[in-house]
């Protein structure tokens, strides 16, 4: 059975393993190997913290993906990853739905994320969920290879009622 659930502290090693495997691909997420020392400690702190959360994708009792959400100033920032071999099966969408639900329930006015321009799959998922491109960062992130990667900022406004000002 595949599904998505709130993460628990016992998921720390499994989620770190997922992050390390996706980081090892060197293509899709910001994290690179080696992961920061104390990565699982940060995971546990995010789980326990008042302004952040994790959800995991579970297939037959094995964690194969996850999404973290962190609120800053009413904006929920998110990052997600699903293990190769489990992609394209709907788990990413389920994880994203949980993140959006979390942000809405907290009363966040907006969600935001950054994605590599070449990550067509992720951009497609976010766009289909209602995220729009709000900006483009040129030569913004130094990778361990030394190259400078661009990033696309995508966001979704949740509060469309409060007055705005441009």
Ligand X SMILES: CC(C)(COP(=O)(O)OP(=O)(O)OC[C@H]1O[C@@H](n2cnc3c(N)ncnc32)[C@H](O)[C@@H]1OP(=O)(O)O)[C@@H](O)C(=O)NCCC(=O)NCCS
Check residue 72 for interaction with ligand X (CB under 6 A). Answer: no
Check residue 19 for interaction with ligand X (CB under 6 A). Answer: no
Question: What is the DSSP pairing of strand 110-115 with strand 75-82?
Answer: parallel
Check residue 82 for interaction with ligand X (CB under 6 A). Answer: yes
Q: Token pair for residue 166?
A: 């441009």
Check residue 69 for interaction with ligand X (CB under 6 A). Answer: no
- Rg over alpha carbons for the chain, rounded to the nearest Å, is 16
Check residue 90 for interaction with ligand X (CB under 6 A). Answer: yes
Question: Beta-carbon neighbour count of residue 87 at 10 Å?
Answer: 16
Residues 6+ apart with CB under 8 A from 124: none
Query: Which position among 24, 75, 125, 157 is part of the footprint of ligand X (CB under 6 A)?
Result: 125
Query: Which position among 2, 24, 29, 157 is part of the footprint of ligand X (CB under 6 A)?
Result: 29
| Choice between 97 and 109, CB closer to ligand X | 97
């Amino acid at each position: 059975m595949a599904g998505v659930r709130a993460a628990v502290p016992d998921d720390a090693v499994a989620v770190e393993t997922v992050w390390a495997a996706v980081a090892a691909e060197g293509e899709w997420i910001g994290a690179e190997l080696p992961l920061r020392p104390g990565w699982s400690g940060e995971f546990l702190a995010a789980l326990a913290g008042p302004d952040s959360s994790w959800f995991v994708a579970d297939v037959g009792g094995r964690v194969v993906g996850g999404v973290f959400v962190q609120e800053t100033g009413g904006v929920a920032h998110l990052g997600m990853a699903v293990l190769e071999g489990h992609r394209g099966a709907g788990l990413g969408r389920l994880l994203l739905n949980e993140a959006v639900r979390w942000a809405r329930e907290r009363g966040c006015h907006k969600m935001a994320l950054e994605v590599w321009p070449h990550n067509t799959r992720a951009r497609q998922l976010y766009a289909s969920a209602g995220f729009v491109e709000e900006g483009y960062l040129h030569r913004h992130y130094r990778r361990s290879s030394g190259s400078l990667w661009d990033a696309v900022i995508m966001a979704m406004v949740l509060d469309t009622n409060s007055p705005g000002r441009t």
